[in-house]
Structure 1
Amino acid sequence: MITKEQIVQSLPQKGFFGHPKGLFTLFFTEFWERFSYYGMRAILLYYMYYEVSKGGLGIDEATAASIMAIYGSLVYMSGTIGGWIADRLLGTSKTVFYGGILIMLGHIVLSFPGNIEALFISMTLIVLGTGLLKPNVSSVVGDLYADNDARRDSGFSIFYMGINLGGFLAPIIVGTLGQGYNFHLGFALAAIGMFFGLLTFILTKKKNLGLAGTQVPNPLQPEERKKVFTIFGIGALVIIAFLAVTIPAGLLTINSFTMIVSILGIVIPACYFIFMYRSPKTTEVERSRVIAYIPLFIAAVVFWAIQEQGAIILATYADKRTQLSYAGLELQSSWFQSLNPLFIIFLAPVFAWFWVKLGKRQPSTPSKFAFGLIFGGLSFLVMIIPAYVNGTESLVSPLWLVLSFFLVVIGELCLSPVGLSATTKLAPAAFSAQTMSLWFLTSAAAQAINAQLVKYYTVETEIVYFGIIGMVSIILGLILFFMAPMIKRLMKDVL
């Protein structure tokens, strides 16, 4: 077994802004992966519902929105598979590489004119590839630093900047090419982006990463392998047989599949909570913390349900309801997807400074979650104003979308970093890694709920849609704010 000290000693410790050289490798691998993912996502909805004459697939708008939500849900769910494969079979470094290959192949499939079957093949490859790559590339970042290395938090901040830079540039570049010229050219550019990420990883990992990510922490024993692979084989055959019977018979449709995933998005986290709470490995104090975590989990699901609609409902709003000729500029509707990462880049350091400045006077974790919900709700409520004032027949100023994205990012910065921290603190010792997976399932559950919600959005229902969801979020935020003292007691001295 390779020790943490051996891993740290095996790689150059200075060379990228005073950080280990391996951070360069992982920064640009993740930058290009996020470039490809957010670039593809920025034009995917339009590709699905644009008419065939405009280069799209001509899918019904509500169905296309539902597919987008399910796609997002499955991306987050697949991270649990990627974590298991890295821990038991391949190690994080190889898992990241194979994930990148699958993602690139998924984009290549969409680079050529095809039908809805090609779309689903592409989505499957990208879902599996992202599940392999996304959680594990972050894990390798952690391997670069000794446990007591003061540069660790700063290193993750730099890495996080790479994610947001990729997310900011992709909709502008891929969106311009995809919407302005040809969707398939946009998808090809996303494939090229992932190729650059893989090239960076392959050419620099031996020199920069050393032993980081090469170890399999909990490898399958020979006697386990046969059993596990047999279970996987039987499971795969059952799924193939199920699809072979239900699809031709018309029993498994897009709508029925989205409903199945929506149910799983709720059931899987619920089973996680029940299992952890009832486990004999969980102490009484830890059970109290699990109970405290439940309202935080629900709050996060509600918030992400709003935030993730930025790529679905607000993307449709940008395309159908927004003036795209503004201040002498010709805008693409896909460009609005760059607002979220742009605001995070500028506001994240401000929030980090603000919490440090407040010190012990800063709000408690439940209160920060409450503020996140309130700002998330406000981001939807402001979208009522242009429709209420001018009706839904006229196009609105793009500044309304800018304001909405700005408000939801404030909510995100109140909730997301705090949620990651709270998850590590409230997790039962026996389930620390699995509880982190549970946190990422907040996004999966949110998207699973969205798959049903987004069907109700139309221009006619616009005011009601934004109003109800916005008010529900604000009311839940206020309830959580008043529950904060009780939740803090259940957290048992965890701040």
Structure 2
Amino acid sequence: MSSDAPVGARPPAGRTFFGHPRALSTLFLTEMWERFSFYGMRAILVLYLTATVADGGLGVGESTANAVYGTYNAMVYLMALPGGWVADRLLGARRSVLWGGVVIAAGHYVMAVPTGWSVFAGMALIVLGTGLLKPNISTMVGDLYERDSPRRDAGFSIFYMGINLGAFIAPLITGFLGEKINWHLGFGAAAVGMTFGVAQYVLGRRNLGDAGARPADPLLGADRRRALTRAGAVTAVLLVVLLGLLLTGWFTVNTVVNLLTAVTVLVTVGYFARILTDREISGTERRRMKAYVWLFVFAAAFWLIYDQAGSVLNIFAADRTDRNVAGFTFPASWLQSVNPILIIIGAPLAAWLWLRLGHRVSTPTKFAVGLVLNGLSFVLMAAAAQAAVGGDLVSPWWLVAVYAIQVAGELSLSPVGLSATTKLAPVKYASQMLGLWFLATAVGDAIGGQVARLAQNWSQSAYFLTFGLASVLLGVAAVMFTRQIRGLMAGIH
């Protein structure tokens, strides 16, 4: 079978969705509800962790809460690697998405249980489920089109609108329920959203045809048994480690967070070492991967700052902003809806700009622009924090402006990085490189969670200014080394 065509037959002809296969609507709504559940829970997670026990929270310190948040995000993206492998070799994308959705919903329902332990057990389930669902639903969207179809990019654009639509709506609902009524009710709303997603996915399965129905490269016979044995052995080792931590009294939130951060970094280093030392890749491919290492570092540094929107900036919104409008104090988590709506507005503009500029602006330069803008957003936050010194509440428009700058930076780096990942990938590792790109977010979030611990001990203005200027300087350095990186890219723009 030609590699230019997806596995299986086309979905059945008939009604369309904005001129695209009807199956796109099923996947669009599944992703929308999954993002609703994920961003809805994430919008209130740190606020719940830091809220006092009297207010229904866990009373965790800001330092620990920020680290938990960063590590949780990192694990979600790290699990995309084994999730993609399970779909390719064992279950197929369709069943992986289904089981992923079921496990995610179960995780949210566990978090809705009003006990202290439920939040951590629920997050563990959500991480596992998202690892199965997130990478594989995108694969299924690609399966709806021929590789060179002119409608393919438009189909993905519609699909990604679902991501941001769900992310926009979620904090408005879960934030109100969680902050104004009960935290666990907010988590429960996220569970209901994911349940809707799973239900419509099952009901819409007839639209999917053969898309994602079978593993792309299934393990059979002895190979399958060997892989399952190894997976069982890894699971057993993890359980032994956890048991050891329990017996020694080291099983604490901070210990687990630190271990998971280390695992994320070590997996990434090992992944790059494996590719760069592989004798089956050509010299040109190895040079391009060396260029990709730099892009990866820039991306990880970007996400380190950017994804603090749900932790450090969320706490700032709760404690330091005047959210009173006509006598109603709106939830701090509502400001988490600013980012996705700005992406919906800005994405078409960014796409038009890069099309007009063409190859006149290189990929490393676009990454540099993203880093500089990201840094400037934190410099602006330093000014906001300084204005709040002494207990004064500042306008939430400070945060809106910060998020606007960050979104401009994201649109300079994130879609460009995804495209560069596919272009710089060695042929042998083409199908794995998307997982490697997810690792940039995982590393940035894991280290960012540790960095965010400093926000509790430093003055806020010093914290934002330090890391804002560091990002700006890294962006300037990226510009200075653009020529060398482009040389390593060997003709890729």
1:398 aligns with 2:387: no
Partners of 2:41 and 2:386 in 1: CA distance: 33
Kindly report which structure 2 residues correspond to 1:344-363, keeping only aligned pairs within 5 A, or say none: 344-361=343-360, 363=361
Q: 1:141 — aligned with what?
A: 141
Give 3-state SS (helix, strand or coil) of 1:23's partner.
helix
Whether contact under 8 Å (1:302, 1:473) holds in the other structure is yes
Structure 2 vs 1, CA of residues 90 and 328 (structure 1 numbering), >3 Å: closer, same or farther? same
Whether contact under 8 Å (2:387, 2:394) holds in the other structure is no
User: What is the CA deviation profile of residues 400-440 of structure 1, one whole-angstrom value per residue up to 9, with x for unaligned ones?
Assistant: 10011010000000000000000001111111122221110
Kindly report which structure 2 residues correspond to 1:106-117, keeping only aligned pairs within 5 A, or say none: 106-115=107-116, 117=117
Q: 2:259 — aligned with what?
A: 260
Residue type at the aligned position of 2:437: W
Q: 1:180 — aligned with what?
A: 180
1:155 aligns with 2:170: no
Deviates more, 1:233-242 or 1:152-161: 233-242
Partners of 1:161 and 1:238 in 2: CA distance: 40
Whether contact under 8 Å (2:264, 2:442) holds in the other structure is yes
Kindly report which structure 2 residues correspond to 1:329-344, keeping only aligned pairs within 5 A, or say none: 329-344=328-343
**Per-residue deviation, 1:282:** 1.1
Q: 2:406 — aligned with what?
A: 408
Partners of 1:473 and 1:140 in 2: CA distance: 36
Whether contact under 8 Å (1:12, 1:22) holds in the other structure is no
Deviates more, 1:215-224 or 1:304-313: 215-224
Residue type at the aligned position of 2:19: G
Kindly report which structure 2 residues correspond to 1:39-438, keeping only aligned pairs within 5 A, or say none: 39-115=40-116, 117-206=117-206, 208-326=207-325, 329-361=328-360, 363-389=361-387, 391-438=389-436
Aligned-residue Cα RMSD (Å) equals 1.6
Q: Which structure 2 residue ranges, 5 or more long, are not aligned?
A: none
User: What is the CA deviation profile of residues 39-84 of structure 1, one whole-angstrom value per residue up to 9, with x for unaligned ones?
Assistant: 0111111111111211112222211111111111111111111101
Deviates more, 1:84-93 or 1:384-393: 384-393
Partners of 2:386 and 2:126 in 1: CA distance: 40
User: What is the CA deviation profile of residues 139-179 of structure 1, one whole-angstrom value per residue up to 9, with x for unaligned ones?
Assistant: 00000001221100000000000000000000011111111
Whether contact under 8 Å (1:66, 1:451) holds in the other structure is yes
Residue type at the aligned position of 1:200: Q
Partners of 1:368 and 1:392 in 2: CA distance: 39
Structure 2 vs 1, CA of residues 392 and 164 (structure 1 numbering), >3 Å: closer, same or farther? farther
**Per-residue deviation, 1:8:** 4.6
TM-score (norm 1): 0.96
Q: 2:465 — aligned with what?
A: 467
**Per-residue deviation, 1:262:** 1.7
Whether contact under 8 Å (2:80, 2:132) holds in the other structure is yes
Residue type at the aligned position of 2:417: G
Structure 2 vs 1, CA of residues 254 and 296 (structure 1 numbering), >3 Å: closer, same or farther? same
* Matching residue within 426, 451, 454 for 1:453: 451
Partners of 2:34 and 2:475 in 1: CA distance: 34
Deviates more, 1:301-310 or 1:326-335: 326-335
**Per-residue deviation, 1:295:** 1.2
Structure 2 vs 1, CA of residues 353 and 216 (structure 1 numbering), >3 Å: closer, same or farther? same
Whether contact under 8 Å (1:2, 1:215) holds in the other structure is no
Whether contact under 8 Å (2:50, 2:65) holds in the other structure is yes
Residue type at the aligned position of 1:449: I
Give 3-state SS (helix, strand or coil) of 1:7's partner.
coil
User: What is the CA deviation profile of residues 365-397 of structure 1, one whole-angstrom value per residue up to 9, with x for unaligned ones?
Assistant: 000000000000011000111333452421111
Whether contact under 8 Å (1:8, 1:146) holds in the other structure is no
Q: 1:490 — aligned with what?
A: 488
Residue type at the aligned position of 1:67: V
**Per-residue deviation, 1:327:** 6.1
Residue type at the aligned position of 2:10: Q
Residue type at the aligned position of 2:393: L
Deviates more, 1:404-413 or 1:4-13: 4-13
Partners of 1:230 and 1:8 in 2: CA distance: 33
User: What is the CA deviation profile of residues 190-222 of structure 1, one whole-angstrom value per residue up to 9, with x for unaligned ones?
Assistant: 11100110111000111x110001011111121
Partners of 2:239 and 2:291 in 1: CA distance: 41
Give 3-state SS (helix, strand or coil) of 1:211's partner.
coil
Give 3-state SS (helix, strand or coil) of 1:248's partner.
helix
Q: Which structure 1 residue ranges, 5 or more long, are not aligned?
A: none
Residue type at the aligned position of 1:466: F
User: What is the CA deviation profile of residues 285-313 of structure 1, one whole-angstrom value per residue up to 9, with x for unaligned ones?
Assistant: 01110111111111000000111000010
Partners of 2:491 and 2:52 in 1: CA distance: 57
Whether contact under 8 Å (2:424, 2:492) holds in the other structure is yes
Partners of 1:91 and 1:306 in 2: CA distance: 35
Percent of pairs with identical residues: 44
Partners of 1:112 and 1:39 in 2: CA distance: 16
